[in-house]
Every structure is written in C-alpha cells, then in structure tokens.
Structure 1
Amino acid sequence: MHQTRTVSEYLTLLQAWVYEHFPTLCGDCCRLSASYVEDYPRALKWKPKRDKGLVLPFRKALDEIDVDEVCWTPYEDHRLKRPFEDVSLFRGWIRWGPKMYAHLPDRVLRQYGHVQTILGSPLEIVGQTTTPDEMDIMFTQYVVHVVDVGTVV
C-alpha cells in the first residue's frame, strides 16, 4: 500500500519467501549465498543488499510480474532434507499463546503440487466460534482435519 511507511513482524522470513517465490525480482535486491548448503535453514540461502533506493524499482517490478515468473514450488530441492509433513495440510485454527490464526492450506494447494480450486469464505471453512480448547483438540487430531488435496499436478 503506497501510504504505508513501516512494516513489522519477522521481515527476514518475508524476504526469504519473496526471494523464493519471485526469483526474477532477486537480481537487483539480493544474491545467493556461496556458503549455503541444504542442511541450513532456507532463509540463509539469500544475502539481501542493503540499499534503501531499491523500494520504488522493486514495487514497479512486482506490479509488472507475470504469473509465469512466479515459482509455485520453490522448495522441491529442499524436500530431501526437510520432507513434507502431512500436518502441513491441517485446515483449521491454530494458536500461539493467546493469538489465533486460521490455517488454510487449501488456498495454496498449487505450492504443494496439487490442483488449486476456488474456495468459499475462510469462515465457512474453519468456523468462527472455535474455542482455544477445541483448537488444541483439533490440532492433536489433525489427521481428521487434513485438506483433501485431490489431483496431483
């Protein structure tokens, strides 16, 4: 958003996600780390440049990106070291302390190598009235709440 002046939260994770999913944007804003090996956390793969003048060109490049320039499965090489776990397909509320988040992996099935479908409202999927105790029980029984992934691409 043009009027936004600051961003908070864990920006290293956001940056690494952007570099992985939009590789054509990385030429001007980061470089690959020569010392990275797949045993390391994925965010260590990238060495961002520390140039504040990149914001406007970066925004322009992001606005003009084509769907074919998006990497939908960026972690395939990394899966040998960090295998995909079925719990990642859990659909429902998760919480960290007092904060609650709707986890909706069916909205990003393409990133998991499946056909993406059009979905309804997130509140229809996970409900609005789940209590923290119910959340904990649902997550411990995550197999019951795993997304039906359907067709593999």
Structure 2
Amino acid sequence: MIRVLFQNAAALTLFLWAMKRCGAPEKILSSALLVALWTNLIARWLLGYQTHFATFDPMSMAIDGALLVTAVGLSLRSNRTWPLWFAALQLLAVCAHILRPFDVNKVHALSYVILSRMPTYAQLLVLLCAMTAFENRRRHGIQATDWEH
C-alpha cells in the first residue's frame, strides 16, 4: 500500500508541476501516467479486483498498452529526447504482460512484479529530470519548441 501511495503522490506532484510550469510534452506524459495509475486503482476498487501477480493481468496490460501508445506517439512528435526513455521503460512493462501467459519456465511472480511495476519508478525519475531540465532552460532564457516541424 505504501508503494501505491508513494507512486500516486509523486505522479500527482509531477503532474501539478508540469501543468503550472512546463511544456506540452511534460504535461501530456505526466497526465497520461497519472491517468494510468488512477485508472488502475479505480478499476480495481470498483471491480474488487486484486492482482496477485501469479497469473496474467489483462487489465494492467490494457492500461500499460495505452500508456505505451501515448508515450511512443509523443516521442515521435515532440522536440525532446526524454520521451524515448519513458516509452522504453513502458515497453518493459508491456513486454512483461505479453510474456507472462507464454511463460513455459514458470518464472517467479516476483519477476513479473519487477518488470511490470518497477518501470513506473524510473518513469517518475525520467519525468523529474525532464521537468528540471525544462526549468533550467527556461531560467537561462533558452527557448525550445515543444514539437518537431
């Protein structure tokens, strides 16, 4: 439960910072990450669904897949390199979901947890670094466009 509270508090903090002080790519991906986390929480609460990570989790796969599509789309259009790192981390989570049903060697459930949930922490760090870099550029009067032309 502490992990969930930390992730959501960090994501909400970054979202609020992005909305107030950052560019469109930071706003979009911080929003998308927060929506993904909250959708997962709300759906589990409404459906009474608990993940035990011993089996494939289709709901998390759908949410993680939607976040991957958003991150890749933004990576292709934005004038930033950090969304590629965000998308690559999201790809790890999606691959964990894809490989889980085909797991012939019965990898321990902990491996599934690490590959499907831990990239979020790294994504929060990527967002923090990206937003800090945006603030530094702005502070030094460096203007960068949000989108490729």
Q: TM-score, normalised by structure 2?
A: 0.24
Q: Which has the higher helix share?
A: 2
Q: TM-score, normalised by structure 1?
A: 0.24
**Based on CA coordinates, which of the two structures has the bigger radius of gyration?**
1
Q: Which has the higher strand share?
A: 1
